[in-house]
Amino acid sequence: MQVSKEWITLKSGYIVDNEITEAFKGNKLNLVSPVTLRENLAYIFTLIGLTKYPDKDEMIIIEDFIRTSYPLYTIEEFRIAFKMAVQGKLDCSTEHYEKFSPKFIGQVMAAYTKKANDVRKMIKPITQELEVPKLTDNEIVLFTQKEWLESPRTDFNRVFNADKVFGILLKQGKLKFQEHEMLEIIKIVREDNLQKMNKLYGIDAKNFRQSIKDNDFVDTQCKKLALVKYFEGLSS
The confidence score (pLDDT) of residue 133 equals 59
Q: What pLDDT, in 10s, does the model give residues 143-167?
A: 889 888 888 888 898 887 889 999 9
Mean of per-residue pLDDT scores for the chain: 84
- Mapping DSSP onto H, E and C, the string for the chain reads CCCCCCEEECCCCCEEEHHHHHHCCCCECCCCCHHHHHHHHHHHHHHHCCCCCCCHHHHHHHHHHHHHHCCCCEHHHHHHHHHHHHCCCCCCCCCCCCCCCHHHHHHHHHHHHHHHHHHHHHHHHHHCCCCCCCCCHHHHHHHHHHHHHCCCCCCHHHCCCHHHHHHHHHHCCCCCCCHHHHHHHHHHHHHHHHHHHCCCCHHHHHHHHHHHHCHHHHHHHHHHHHHHHHHHHHHC
Query: Could you tell me the pTM of the whole model?
Result: 0.53
Q: What pLDDT, in 10s, does the model give residues 11-44?
A: 433 334 678 888 888 888 988 888 899 999 999 9
